[in-house]
Amino acid sequence: MDILETSFIYLASALLFSEVYIWSVPQGAELRWVVEGRPWERARLNERPIYLRSLYIGLALLQTFLHLYCDYDRIEESVQDGMSDPSIQRAAYVAQEPLKRGQPLSEDSKDPNGSLINGLKAKKTAVKVSLLRDLNNFANDVGKSFAYWELAMICRKFPERRVSIFKDIDRLEGAAWSQISMECLRMVEGVTSRISAYGQPSTQQRALIKVEDLQSLPRLGTPLKQDSIFMSSPQPTTRREMMETKMGTFAKSVGDYPVTSYGSPIGPKGTQYIEAARDKLLTPEQRQALTLAHIRSQFYVYLTRFLHSWLGQPFRQTFARRIRSIAFGQPFSELIPTINAVDSLTSLVTASLKEDAYGKVAKDIPLVMRTFIVTYQTLDRFAGTLSPHWTDVEFSDSQRQTEDVLAMLDALKHGLGDTVKAFSGFSADLGIVDQDIRIAKAIAGIA
């Protein structure tokens, strides 16, 4: 959730608790809005309920700050890396494995593979209310994260279930492998798509700049006259024409006065008096300090000092946060599902040598390798060229390889390495071009 919605939830809960508390206390607590007083005294406003509610509001704002600063939504999870290093710990929004009695969650379904595929295809909804939309999308993102996590576990720990994916070829929307690989590749390609779309105008922005969509402003005055400009203007006859003539005369008279650097029409003597007073009262350094450029530079100096302090740390947009939101999506990062998608594809592709009896996987191996290569090159190049945000005052080039970027690159590197090792002797038969083989070996560090 973003700052406004997190603040709203904490404020709403704090105010609800305060109202319930005030309503439940006895009358002797003196928490009513108005104090009656003695018969001869006026009723007066009671400050106690205001003070109590202010404490709750302050507590809610403090909780919001701690929630965002400590990132309470971030829960550590061990990603199913397939052939990658299983000791790597990466962040996700789910903490417990998608298992039930030691089996994948979808195993209880009448159609296990169908349930898994539906989870991979979970889409974000277009609810108009922002909070409801984000809650709905958060639930869908968690469901999709579980589906990709479950798929990675199936590909690694449950060989019988993995074989069932290869054998499931009689579905209406295509074989199970085709649908699963399509969704996994779409998840991986999302990294490249988001990076390519960075800096480009959105669909709404492009629609606004179309000439045919522009609407002319309403006309405030009378239409321009079509008569000869050398003809004398006729005498006004109506009240409106007389008013327009007077206003025009007044505007012309104002324009006849000289305009100073202050932008106000004054006479020549007034200009001389102002200039003389300015020269006597202000030194050249003081006049320079009052210029707009100097004020802006001083403001930037103080703002930079503030951002360097511990108070300004929450207001910095660090490079890690910046590249995470661009490459892996926002407000909910898709890093973990993407890594699980890479590991799942790698496990299925390498296992297909022995388990794919129908040969459905072989024709898609060049596409899988090419997608991994393009994603790796795009992310690695983007991490090396992305400009830091102006608030990231403590940025250094050593921070470009963030934890999220390294985790994604590591998964792609291991995926390419395992695929090349498994199919190096069949590359020509599978249609894998030699250039992709060379690039994949270079990325994976294979001689």
Token duo for residue 428: 């020509």
Q: What is the pLDDT of residues 215-254, one digit of tens each?
A: 555 555 556 555 555 556 667 777 767 777 777 776 666 5
> Does residue 86 register a pLDDT over 70?
no
> Does residue 94 register a pLDDT over 50?
no
What mean pLDDT comes out for the span 96-103?
Answer: 82
Token duo for residue 148: 């990709």
- CA distance linking residue 86 with residue 343, whole number of Å: 11
The pLDDT value recorded for residue 79 is 55
The pLDDT value recorded for residue 41 is 76
> Does residue 154 register a pLDDT over 90?
yes
Token duo for residue 159: 């060989």
The pLDDT value recorded for residue 66 is 87
The pLDDT value recorded for residue 139 is 53
**Residue 147 class from Cβ within 10 Å (0-12 exposed, 13-18 middle, 19+ buried)?**
buried
The pLDDT value recorded for residue 207 is 63
Q: Higher model confidence: residue 325 or residue 91?
A: 325
The pLDDT value recorded for residue 76 is 53
What mean pLDDT comes out for the span 347-376?
Answer: 93
**Upper half-sphere CA count for residue 330 (Cβ side, 13 Å):** 11
Q: Sorting pLDDT into bands at 50, 70 and 90, what band is 289? A: confident
Q: List all residues 6 or more positions away from 310 whose beta carbon is below 8 Å from its beta carbon.
A: none
* Mean predicted lDDT score pLDDT of the chain: 80
The pLDDT value recorded for residue 84 is 43
> Does residue 311 register a pLDDT over 70?
yes
The pLDDT value recorded for residue 82 is 47
What mean pLDDT comes out for the span 13-39?
Answer: 84
Q: Which of 46, 55, 65 is nearest to 15 (CA)?
A: 55
Q: Higher model confidence: residue 68 or residue 244?
A: 68
The identity of residue 251, as a single letter, is A
3-class secondary structure for the chain? Answer: CCHHHHHHHHHHHHHHHHHHHHHHCCHHHCCCCEECCCCCCCCEECHHHHHHHHHHHHHHHHHHHHHHHHCCCCEEEECCCCCCCCCCEEEECCCCCCEECCEEHHHHCCCHHHHHHHHHCCCCCCCCCHHHHHHHHHHHHHHHHHHHHHHHHHHHHCHHHHHHHHHCCCCCCCCHHHHHHHHHHHHHHHHHHHHHHCCCCCHHHHHHCCHHHCCCCCCCCCCCCCCCCCCCCCCCCCHHHHHHHHHHHHHHHHHHCCECCCCCECCHHHHHHHHHHHHHHCCHHHHHHCCHHHHHHHHHHHHHHHHHCCCCHHHCCCHHHHHHHHHHCCCCCCHHHHHHHHHHHHHHHHHHHHHCCCCCCHHHHHHHHHHHHHHHHHHHHHHHHCCCCCCCCCCCHHHCCCHHHHHHHHHHHHHHHHHHHHHHHHHHHHCCCHHHHHHHHHHHCCC
Percent of the chain with pLDDT over 90: 38
| Packing angle of the helix pair 335-355, 176-197 (nearest 10 deg) | 140
